[in-house]
Each structure stands twice: as structure tokens, then as C-alpha cells.
Amino acid sequence: MTFHKLLIANRGEIACRIIKTAHEMGIACVAVYTEADSHSPFVKMADEAVKLSDTYLNGKEIIEAAKQTGAEAIHPGYGFLSENAKFSRDVLKADLIWVGPSSKVITSMGDKLKAKDIAEKAGVPTLPMTTDPKKANTIGYPILIKAAAGGGGKGMRIVESKKDLKESIAGAQREAKTGFGDDRVFIERYVASSRHIEIQILGDSHGNVLHLGERECSIQRRHQKIIEESPSPRVDTKMREEMGEAAIKLAKKLKYESAGTVEFLVDDKTGEFWFLEVNTRLQVEHPVTEEVTGKDLVYEQLRIARGEMLGYSQEDISWTGSSIEARLYAEDPANDFLPATGTLIAYESDTNIDARWDTGIEQGSIVGTDFDPMLAKVITKGKTRTDAANKLALALENLHIGGVTTNRDFLVSSLRSKEFLKGKTTSDFIEKAKPQRAVLLKGTNLELATTAAALWIQGKNRENASLLKDIPSGWRNSRLPRQRITFSYLDDEVTVYYKSNRDHSFSVNENTNAKIINWSERGIDIEINNSRFFSKITQDKDDLVVHGPWGDVLLRIVPRFTLPGSEAQAGGLVAPMPGKVIDLKVKVGSKVKKGDTLVILEAMKMEHQVKASEDGKVTKILIKKDDQLENGALLMVLDN
């Protein structure tokens, strides 16, 4: 059983990742795409592509695309239809090869309740749980509500007390219905100081099953992973063997084929572990396993799909060094990690840093609300865990990115924190370590950034000048005011005054001396008061993304003359992000208290509650259910 052409029923960075390995194996690739992805890199990277009518969830249309192009196999990637048993069966019925485990395994493991039952029968420990809200007290608060039909943080709620149970269940059910088409939820014991440890398994159609060690994925926000690593700083050889044996025991009971992941919850204090779920697909965090084992998991998936034997045993698996992955998201950590949208004005990694970038976007890509906000996975490997962490932080710091708010600074702060470097990466890491959510420039750094930007713009003006191009910038034969430019940064305005000196340096503001070492379209090599650095600069109309030792800062050129604008309405409550209104909790005349939920928005298949920031009375409502809102849209007006 073999194939020469593969259709990838997915998009973005995972489609690019699969294409890369398939091409190395001499396999041609077919991409499918929607209108929103017409200009995405994965479409251009594939050998051919088929446009879908509206969604990546239309299995029938995807199978037709495979038939149309002569593809003999389908790889589902992760997300979308990757754990859809019906799609798997339909692929096989169409005489195509399915790259993944059997539909029977997908069905049994896709239902979290059934999966727990099978794990218990296989002798794998599980957490206490119930499907009856009335029995929540028997488990003991805090508890965790989880979707029975899916994962990825969707349909998941931590409940601290009985009074919040009803509303939390309702919200989890809505989110589960939207994400998985199944609103069933169950209640499980919540272990606060815990770790999420998962074991990577591989199984072939000849009965061979082995594991490739563990990954730790404990650092999460909104129950979604953001930093993963292998090996885990908590797992020793004995624990790895025990968890690996449990994973293999379950995989053999399932007669598992292809790559998969068995997830466990570990009590950080006792080391006790419990089965959580089996992900019957490739995981987002699979690269860290590849880095420490040297095994290409996509390669192994494709080999197994061709009916080949693994060809090696558990004794042949070894681990070298340490690997860490960070997920770069379009989101605002300072605003409760809410998704962000926009156009990437700048996006360029530093090729001098030894880091792996699994990404599906490029400069100019539009980040909307149609898909998950992950922009890239950044992976490094080091001889030690500290080396890998430092390298990853440096790669992120040297990334030139702007136009969309991201979690880059938060990731760097997390990786450089003493808690992370000491391996204190439990599920409550964010609450305990309190990494910096964003970098706000002020003082010297803001002056360096605005000076570099101002002198880069004057250099660009000289480069584009059509008359008197060789005359120094700002040259005059009489006493005239200094040249100036004003930038807006967040809510402030910064004016830079400068003039050219006879020695080709510049006097800036009151007591700053600057010298341009080299100027180019991509940036400026500059010396400011004896401090020299290269600032990469990208301009889009009046917006400038300015990179330097401080990171990236978005500056906007303030026009010399502007028309007066309208003022925001007093007491106005605005949307913290773009999204769809799925529930309106109040009406005109409602009295609300600080912290009350007023509106529930949905973006990227996740629910987000908009709460009252103070006590008041609703005097005006400007939205209705099912409205699609832009970021900053006025929702309602509250009076004190």
C-alpha cells in the first residue's frame, strides 16, 4: 500500500509542516483552502490547491477534492476534522488512505467519558468525576467542568463554589456545542498545583507500540497550552517508565495505529498521576519530541499509513538535550489574553538564532476572527534546559513583528522568570510567577526608539528627494526652527526635534547627539549618545514598527494638521475584541454591580464574558444577539 500524492485537510502552519516532510519523501501535496486563506503561504507551498466553498469542516467536499486531483491519501493535521470518526470512515469508503488511527479508536477516545471507562478497564488511574451536577459536592470544590466530546480548552470551566456551578455549566455547554457539535459536559476533580504531562505514542498495523517519552504542557491560559517542553523538569526515569508503560498498555488495548498522545494530570507534590484523555492525532507541541528523539513524527505517520512496520523497538529510543516550544498568539495578555486582529505590518525572524519556526503566516497576512489566533510555534533545542530557554527567549526578542498585538513579550518574560528556569512550571504558573504581560516603553528606551524612527524617516525623505538630494538633511542658510516630527505611542504623543550638524551628526531634542552609521530601507544603524544599535524599521502608511534592544514598538506619525474628532460617549462600554454577540444578559433599565456579566461574545470558537467595571444602571443598549462586532464597538451605556 503506497501513495504518491497527499491531500492535507487543514491549513496554516500545520499544513506547511506536513508539506515539508511529504516533499522530503517525494510525495506531492494538495492543499484545500477557503477564501480567507487565498493568499496564505501553505496554499503557495503545495503543488496544487482546491478552493472550498466555505469551510474546512465539509468532509464531502474535501474528499471530492482528493478525487479530483488524484490524491490517494488524506492527512487531517490537527483540529477541524482530525478527530472526526465519520470523516475517517468516509475517506476509507472513498478508497483513499487515512493518515491516522482507526475510526473506532477515534470514536472511543473522542468521547471523554467512554475514554475514561476504557482507561480504567486497562488499569490506568483516572480522576473522580460525575455527569450529575447534583453530585458535584461529592467530588469537592474546586471542580473542573469539561466537554465530553473535545478538548483544546473549549467547554472548560473551573468552578470555585456551588453558586457559580449553574452558570458555568451553561457556558461550558454552549461552548462545547459550538466547538464540537455536542453539548455534553462532565465534572471532574480540579487539582490546582498540577502538571499536564503527555506521552507520545506510535503504533503500526503489525501490533508494534512504543512511546517517545513525555512532554510537559502545564503552562496554560484559558486552559490552552502556550509553552511546552521535553523532557519535563518534574519527571524522573522511574516516573517516565511508569507513565510510558501506562500509555502503551492503553494503546495496545485500543490496537492503536499512527501517532497519538496519552495525556496525564500529575499532582506536583506527590507525583501521583491520572489519565486525562487520548488525542488521536498529531499534537501542536509535537516538535519538542522530534527535537529530543530525532524522530520526524509526520514521517512516521506517513510510513505507518503505507502499512510499514516501525522497524525499531522501545530500547532503540533515546533522548538528547532539552527542547522548548512557545506558541506565538495574536492576543493581548494585558487584556486577559483576548484574541487580537489586524494586518501584520512586519514579520521577520532573526536567521542568526538557531530556532525552528513552524508558521503559516508572513508579512502582510491578515489575522481575523475566522481561525485560531496562533501565528507560529517557535522551538529551540539546547544541551541543557537553561540553554533551550535562553535561546528561545532570544529568538522571540529578536523577532520583528507588528501591526497585531501578540503575546511575544509575555512569552519572553515567562521564559526568563526564575520560576521557569527552576522548573516550577505547574498549571498555576501564571498566577504564581506573574510574568510581565506587556513591555511599555518609557524614559530612555522610548527616546531611543523615537529618535531612531525620526532619523530613519529623514533618511527616507532624503533618499526619495527629487531636488537637491545631495544637500544635507535640514540644511539652511538662515536661522530657522529645528525639524520636528510627532509620534503617537499608546495614549501619548512624543515630539522629536532634530537638526543636522556640520559633522553629519544630529542634535536631537535638548542634549542628545545622534550619528547615522548606515541607513537602508530595512532599518538604521545608529549611535545615540555613544550607545549604538541597529533598529529594524517597517513602515505602512503612517504606522512604523520599530525594533531595537527594547523589542518592537508601534509608532504612528501624527499629521501636522488634523480635523477635530468626536469624543467617546461617557459611560460607554466597548467590545474588548471583535466577535459575535451570543448572549445579552441585561436590558435597558437593568441595575448592575461591578463584576456582573453583561454580554457574552464568541471569537475563535471561545466564549468571552464582558463584565461591568463598576456599579450602575443600563441606560442604552446598542447591540443585539448575533451581531458581529468590531474591536472597540460601543455595546451599551451605563450611568452611575
The rounded distance, in Å, linking the Cα atoms of 214 and 245 is: 12
Q: Residue 83: name the closest of 62, 104, 97 by CA.
A: 104
Torsion, Cα 187 193 195 196, to 10 degrees, reads: 20
Query: Positive or negative CA dihedral for 98, 101, 102, 104?
Result: negative
Q: Cell 533515546 sits at which residue?
A: 318
Do residues 29 and 6 make contact, with C-beta atoms less than 8 angstroms apart? yes
| Annotation says 281 is catalytic | yes
Burial of 481 from C-beta contacts in 10 A (0-12 / 13-18 / 19+): exposed
The rounded distance, in Å, linking the Cα atoms of 213 and 326 is: 19
The rounded distance, in Å, linking the Cα atoms of 320 and 298 is: 20
Do residues 449 and 546 make contact, with C-beta atoms less than 8 angstroms apart? yes
Selecting among 195, 234, 281, 303, the annotated active-site residue is 281
Residues 6 or more apart whose CB falls under 8 angstroms from that of 430 comprise: 219, 221, 414
The rounded distance, in Å, linking the Cα atoms of 376 and 160 is: 34
The rounded distance, in Å, linking the Cα atoms of 540 and 50 is: 32
Burial of 519 from C-beta contacts in 10 A (0-12 / 13-18 / 19+): middle
CA 86 vs CA 52, 83, 309, 384: distances in Å:
19, 9, 26, 44
* Residues involved in catalysis: 281
